[in-house]
Structure 1
Amino acid sequence: MALRPYWSGTIRLSLVSLPVNMYLAVNRQKTIAFHEIYRPTGERVHHALMAGDKPVERDDLVKGYEVEKGEYVLIEPDEIKALKIPSSQVLDIAEFVGVDDIDDVYIETPYFIAPDGKGNDATFSVIRDALRSSKKVAVGQLAIGGRERLCRIRPFGSGMILETLRYEDEIREEDPYFDDIRDRKPDSEEVELARELIKRKTRSFNPSQFHDHYREALQELIDARAEHREPREVLEEKPVAKVINLMDALRQSLREKGGEETPVRKAPARSRTRKATPPKSDKPKRPTRKDAARKAG
């Protein structure tokens, strides 16, 4: 079966044009979907399109933008489809940035990018390898899904991947959320213990070792109901002991990962400032009244 592209167009880099096909990279078939069922009869519930008390046909629907309460500007669906902006068919590369310059909070949906199969493999490979060797990603804009999306393109295996990005005004300001911790300084010994724990648990990322346990449990529940049996017991996670002290918790975590706790060199305590003691003088002390009285007695 031929793959159906989500979008077909051209990536343009200066005077170089590269026709490509774009495919959704997310496998949405893995998502478990439910229908709404009317419990007394077991029938599926369908949501009807209504205008007041009257059912309406989908062909009679138009788009409406509310300008005032109850007043709409009406736009035909074909008028929206007819909107043509440059990024509808051509993705112009605006700039290149470092691979780590774009924070992950901006990343939205991934798409596979492949040559359109009409003899553009060589150009595609040149751009892919040039991006990889220079450790850069391409940034541009593309009109898909009813809006113009900011996006980045980067090498991915033997192909490339396009990721749509959120615009800056779509990200909330961080101030209200981080105000309470902005000036909080952590204990240096606790930080060192946490660094040691991170070091011991650091390894290469392997996505195949992670599974959606919730989806697996949900699928087991569905299978058991369909087979008229009790669902197999889902093993619960080991309960976590109550954390009394962060240092104790970090030390316990290190011991559970094997090996002795790495001694942490504590920073020397600051000495209190004392007034300097004046050096003793070599001159003889002047006799006091008490010395004179002792001598007379």
Structure 2
Amino acid sequence: MHTIWKGSISFGLVNIPIKLHAATEDKDIKLRTLHKKCHTPIKYEKICPVCETELAMDDIVKGYEITKGKFIILDESELDELKKATEEKAVEIIDFIKIEEIDPIYFNRSYYMSPNEGGMKAYGLLRKALLETEKAGLAKIIMRSKEQLAIIRVYENTLLMETIHFPDEVRNVGDVPNVPADDQVSKKEIDTAILLIEQLTTKFEPEKYTDEYRTKLMELINSKQVGKQAVTPKEKAPTTNVTDLMAALQASIDKTKPKEEKKAPTRRKKAPAKAKKAQ
């Protein structure tokens, strides 16, 4: 399993070297965007709309918009310095709590934790302590230049870290529009709804739920592949610099060639009349 972060867990004077591994993966089927005419994948370029030029990475800086169209520019060196000053590669457990006290709206992403060299015993100690107390560790960690809250708990004999949102990152539920203040339903309707819920209540078994859309999409793709409906983008016709250069040179010559002055047409002189012979 790929390691995405190395550091340590610390609580009190205990320090556990650990590695982080992504606990979940995105199973979405990636569809490319093609040009309808020639089936070539479309390129997304970074272009300045004012200068109308394509930008390289060296041409791009970070900025914070303070008002509409007005930015504070932040240099990469400043951001790197700030990152080094705050990133200690440590997951610091600051409190222990009951996980039932956290509403699921706060949960973000999950990571498996494995012990790094020299951390086997301390890893087992924390795992056993969390199981015995039925508690979870509330920690802080800096990942991808962002400080995050995290929960450390035991999942199937493995320590699991779940990043959670800070309170100010959860939007105010009072801002949700058109939520009725009171339930305007009868007792009979409530009893019927409760009966339906009880009939549909079951034990959660995650393996029995599947992504039906993804399955049908893959079946469609496979059927087209078997039917040889795959398309190949047209190859770009090779361009020769010689032709372009000659055309540019010729255009330059034509543009800089001095215009010939128009001369007035010259009249041809009449030949002198021959003298008549004497008779």
| Deviation digits for residues 29-59 of structure 1 (CA, Å, limit 9, x no counterpart) | x221112111111111111121221112123
Cα distance in 2 for residues equivalent to 1:151 and 1:74: 31
Cα distance in 2 for residues equivalent to 1:166 and 1:183: 30
Cα displacement (A) at 1:183: 3.0
1:16 match: 14
Preserved CA contact (<8 Å) 1:88 1:144: no
User: Equivalent residues in 2 for 1:27-38 (5 A)?
Assistant: 27-28=25-26, 30-38=27-35
Preserved CA contact (<8 Å) 2:17 2:118: no
User: Equivalent residues in 2 for 1:150-229 (5 A)?
Assistant: 150-177=149-176, 180-184=179-183, 187-228=186-227
Cα distance in 2 for residues equivalent to 1:79 and 1:8: 24
User: Equivalent residues in 2 for 1:1-297 (5 A)?
Assistant: 3-28=1-26, 30-51=27-48, 52-82=51-81, 83-86=83-86, 88-116=88-116, 118-177=117-176, 180-184=179-183, 187-228=186-227
**Aligned residues: percent identity?**
25
| Deviation digits for residues 156-204 of structure 1 (CA, Å, limit 9, x no counterpart) | 1121111111111222222344875443275445544544444444333
Structure 2 unaligned spans of 5+? 230-279
Cα distance in 2 for residues equivalent to 1:211 and 1:57: 43
| Deviation digits for residues 106-135 of structure 1 (CA, Å, limit 9, x no counterpart) | 11111111111x131121111112112211
Cα displacement (A) at 1:105: 0.6
Q: Which residue type is aligned with residue 139 of structure 2?
A: G
- Count of equivalent residues: 226
The verdict on how the C-alpha distance between 1:22 and 1:78 changes in structure 2, with shifts beyond 3 A counting, is farther
The verdict on how the C-alpha distance between 1:70 and 1:189 changes in structure 2, with shifts beyond 3 A counting, is closer
Q: Which residue type is aligned with residue 20 of structure 1?
A: I
Cα distance in 2 for residues equivalent to 1:229 and 1:194: 51
TM-score where L is the length of structure 1: 0.68
Q: Which residue type is aligned with residue 101 of structure 1?
A: E
Cα distance in 2 for residues equivalent to 1:9 and 1:88: 8
Preserved CA contact (<8 Å) 1:94 1:140: yes
RCO higher in structure (CA 8 A, sep ≥6): 2
Deviates more, 1:200-209 or 1:11-20: 200-209
SS of the residue aligned with 1:223? helix
Q: Which residue type is aligned with residue 120 of structure 2?
A: D
Deviates more, 1:123-132 or 1:186-195: 186-195
The verdict on how the C-alpha distance between 1:19 and 1:86 changes in structure 2, with shifts beyond 3 A counting, is farther
Structure 1 unaligned spans of 5+? 231-297
Preserved CA contact (<8 Å) 2:137 2:152: yes
RMSD: 2.4
Cα distance in 1 for residues equivalent to 2:195 and 2:70: 63
Cα distance in 1 for residues equivalent to 2:188 and 2:177: 23
Cα distance in 1 for residues equivalent to 2:58 and 2:101: 46
Cα distance in 2 for residues equivalent to 1:135 and 1:94: 17
Cα distance in 2 for residues equivalent to 1:101 and 1:65: 36
Cα displacement (A) at 1:229: 7.4
Cα displacement (A) at 1:95: 0.7
The verdict on how the C-alpha distance between 1:64 and 1:181 changes in structure 2, with shifts beyond 3 A counting, is closer
Cα distance in 1 for residues equivalent to 2:69 and 2:173: 36
